[in-house]
Structure 1
């Protein structure tokens, strides 16, 4: 475990103090999850490492909470930690605001790449909205600009990756055509 902690700290993972913007909590978890993926951490190791990154109010909260979350003799799982962490630092109202933002998300003036990045970021916060892969594809498609959306509907694509790639290719073609015609 000490070797894992050493490797983890070399990645310079962010600390969390529990103060400020409620959207900082999911961003912090996302950054740590990247480090966990690189290191191949188990669900139990993740909890051990994440607790090391809690400071100030967040550390005090965890000391007061961990005995209720992980009863004596039960494994400390990442899912249980994040559920309780979000319950404390990413309030229900903040989650509802993000969910509403996800439901209203439209490409508008964004490129397909920018739209996909925002879609993915909001989806990470509200994954239950599109648990079915077909719902994810439809939601992505329905947020595209009208001219792209109408072309995507006719293609009847059922895979998210393919939907993104096709939208990107069509957008690139539109840009090339506009440049060629001088508009």
Structure 2
């Protein structure tokens, strides 16, 4: 890659030197014929492209990485307004190792078949190789069945956007509403009930609102548990038996078994009268 970049820089410097020399000749009144710079048209602008620090692609089994690589290149192409030929030239320039060997054989086959090699053709063949249809179908189903479950809102949103790349209907600019509805339906019930009625249809705003609610909800639960544990602090058990009856008789050991009517037993008035009568009868016997 370094050798190619050095060659491109050398060509650009040569072209700049020719332009300066031509301007100098015009200033001296000596018009010279234009000098054709030996540089292929599709590689013009390569230095500007490389300044965007695009990622290289080395191949292997990496469906998600292959999809992201194409998306990254398309974003740069749009910013630089690259032509179809430049898109192919710049993309293949970044292929290394296994991917570079693959493209060498594919390019030769396409040329032998007389097919035009444009960006659409390259992207189609590239994705067939590194993002097969069965993998795309699996990712689409995984996206359609995605639920938050035990993930945090941040983790759920990251997974949602990762899988949404494999679901073309949500990639169009006018499908923000459908994307938000799908995200809401996968939220946990407590978050969905709190956020759903607000009908937020801007995806970044929706994610932020869900994340803030989740953090507040966790804080409230933690505070509630803390207060609950303080209310239920276990006290030291009372060793006394609340159902233990007092002694029937009280007094010194010598009085065990003998009732002390004057001090220990509370007797109703009628019973006192009856006992007094009984004692009087006993005295006369």
Q: Give the TM-score, by structure 1 length.
A: 0.76
Of 148, 151, 168 in structure 1, the residue corresponding to residue 211 of structure 2 is 168
Aligned position for 2:47: 6
Aligned position for 2:82: 42
Q: Are 1:22 and 1:90, in contact at CA under 8 Å, matched by a contact in 2? A: yes
Aligned position for 1:52: 93
Matched, 1:107 2:152: no
The one of the two structures with greater contact order (alpha-carbon pairs below 8 A, sep at least 6) is 1
Query: Greater shift after overlay, 45-54 or 26-35?
Result: 26-35
Query: Greater shift after overlay, 20-29 or 51-60?
Result: 20-29
Aligned position for 1:21: 62
CA separation of 1:29 and 1:180: change in aligned 2, threshold 3 A:
same
Please give the alpha-carbon distance, in whole angstroms, between the structure 2 residues aligned to 1:43 and 1:168: 42
Structure 1 residue 181 displacement after superposition: 4.0
Give CA-to-partner distance per residue, 1:27-75, whole Å, 9 cap, x none: 33234345546x53435333321021221113422443375354xxxxx
Of 186, 196, 201 in structure 2, the residue corresponding to residue 158 of structure 1 is 201
Q: Are 1:16 and 1:58, in contact at CA under 8 Å, matched by a contact in 2? A: no
Structure 1 residue 158 displacement after superposition: 2.8
Query: Greater shift after overlay, 134-143 or 25-34?
Result: 25-34
> What is the alpha-carbon root mean square deviation over aligned residues?
2.9
The structure that is helix-richer by fraction is 1
Q: Give the TM-score, by structure 2 length.
A: 0.52
Please give the alpha-carbon distance, in whole angstroms, between the structure 2 residues aligned to 1:103 and 1:10: 38
Aligned position for 2:191: 148
Unaligned runs of 5+ in 1: 71-75
CA separation of 1:116 and 1:36: change in aligned 2, threshold 3 A:
farther
Please give the alpha-carbon distance, in whole angstroms, between the structure 2 residues aligned to 1:12 and 1:130: 24
Aligned position for 1:89: 130
CA separation of 1:14 and 1:59: change in aligned 2, threshold 3 A:
farther
Q: Are 1:51 and 1:59, in contact at CA under 8 Å, matched by a contact in 2? A: no
Unaligned runs of 5+ in 2: 1-41, 227-285
Q: Are 2:195 and 2:210, in contact at CA under 8 Å, matched by a contact in 1? A: yes
Of 106, 110, 114 in structure 2, the residue corresponding to residue 61 of structure 1 is 106
Query: Greater shift after overlay, 18-27 or 108-117?
Result: 18-27
Give CA-to-partner distance per residue, 1:134-162, whole Å, 9 cap, x none: 22111111111221112222222233233
CA separation of 1:155 and 1:3: change in aligned 2, threshold 3 A:
same
Q: Are 1:102 and 1:119, in contact at CA under 8 Å, matched by a contact in 2? A: yes
CA separation of 1:69 and 1:124: change in aligned 2, threshold 3 A:
farther
Aligned residues: 176
